[in-house]
Structure 1
Amino acid sequence: MDARERLIESTRELLWERGYVGTSPKAIQRRAGAGQGSMYHHFHGKPDLALAAITRSAEELRDRAEAAFTGPGGAAERVAAYLRRERDALKGCPVGRLTQDPDVMADPGLRRPVEETFAWLTGRLAGLLAQGRAAGELDARLDPAATAAALVAMVQGGYVLARAAGDPEAYARAVEGALALLTRTSERN
């Protein structure tokens, strides 16, 4: 891994652990094993490096989600595969946690990849839910956009519940509860 990649990965880790304010250029350089000259050769400063790190986290979230969304099975099965995919529920979502960082949310440039990722995720889920509704897998009365927003909120809230309880099973229960609601809704059809 070259210095640029080490700097991005180190920044991602530090943003996860400490937030934006707690992620100093010195801490990034120390963790990356890179000097100040290397950091400023590749990036214009901490905001530029943080943007690269946040963008990378957002891209990885999209890639993992898309793998489930394009997997085998009907639309409802692919939604379930996304919700049930392996996650470290106690760590939480690297993109979702950024919404709790006031410095990231106050900076339109840093906030943009977070907003775009959640808009993409909600839209992608809404599309799958609409496919499932059209195929008769889900209740014809289901509102794909509202249900997608609820599922994204459930994932993020599931992380919060797991972290608060110190138990990843809290996340798993939230997922199974959401899927049971989808199934019950389609069974009433």
Structure 2
Amino acid sequence: MSTSIDKLIETTQALLWERGYVGTSPRAIQDGAGVGQGSMYHHFRSKAELALAAEERSAAELIEEVRQILDGPGEPLERVLTYLRLERDILKGCRIGRLAADPDIVADDTLRKPLEETFAWITARLADLLHEAQARGHLPPGLDSQALAATVLAVRQGGYVLARAANSTAPYEQAIEGMVSLLTRRPEGSD
């Protein structure tokens, strides 16, 4: 059973993803959560405080979803490829990534912090796996695993932007498959 706090946070998560910070009014949050103004402001002093709680929950949910893949079974490179191909509602984009395009979120260090921390965690975990894949001979020596991890994340996030701009999943899928082909390409003369 959801509490009014949970309903407020869940509603705010959905509205931030769909409408952004400015487009998420306290009235829309209250209506969506089925709570009154008094209840909302009893639990959260401001819209910004509620938005931060929603961002933190979205970040935690994303990290847990990604952790299950990246810490799961299989070779390190295969886990990275599974992450790249993770099914999503491509045209809606990433709950965290979409907020990075919101000027009100990025202008506020407190509201921006969960985004930065989430992407830093994903990048670091990808870098560890890519370094391990390199040590096992599955990637060429000399690659900067940290830079490669940032590229993997950028391809995913950028793919969402391209898909939304085209109103088609094709650009996203093409970007992901391009990254996969780069990661799995064997140098000439290798067996």
Q: Please classify the TM superposition score into its range, dividing by the shorter chain length.
A: over 0.9
Give unmatched runs, 5+ long, in structure 1. none
Indicate the residue corresponding to 1:187 in structure 2.
187
Q: Provide closer, same or farther for how the CA distance between residues 71 and 187 of structure 1 changes in structure 2, counting only shifts above 3 A.
A: farther
How far the C-alpha of 1:114 sits from its partner, in A, is 0.5
Matched AA of 2:103: P
Indicate the residue corresponding to 1:159 in structure 2.
160
How far the C-alpha of 1:71 sits from its partner, in A, is 1.9
Among all aligned residue pairs of Structure 1 and Structure 2, give the percentage whose two residues are the same amino acid: 57
- Partner of 2:138: helix, strand, or coil? coil
Indicate the residue corresponding to 2:26 in structure 1.
25
Structure-2 separation of matches of 1:169 and 1:73: 28
How far the C-alpha of 1:40 sits from its partner, in A, is 1.4
- Partner of 2:100: helix, strand, or coil? helix
Structure-1 separation of matches of 2:64 and 2:184: 26
- Partner of 1:71: helix, strand, or coil? coil
Indicate the residue corresponding to 2:107 in structure 1.
106
How far the C-alpha of 1:44 sits from its partner, in A, is 1.4
- Listed as ranges, the matches of 1:84-163 within 5 Å are 84-163=85-164
How far the C-alpha of 1:134 sits from its partner, in A, is 0.7
How far the C-alpha of 1:133 sits from its partner, in A, is 0.5
How far the C-alpha of 1:172 sits from its partner, in A, is 1.7
Deviations 1:134-163 (A, max 9, x none): 111111122101101111110011111211
Structure-2 separation of matches of 1:27 and 1:73: 44
Structure-2 separation of matches of 1:22 and 1:169: 28
- Partner of 1:171: helix, strand, or coil? helix
Give unmatched runs, 5+ long, in structure 2. none
Indicate the residue corresponding to 1:60 in structure 2.
61
Q: What is the Cα-based RMSD across aligned positions, in Å? A: 1.2
Deviations 1:2-47 (A, max 9, x none): 1111100111111112211121111110111001111112111111
Indicate the residue corresponding to 1:69 in structure 2.
70
- TM-score, normalised to structure 2, is 0.94
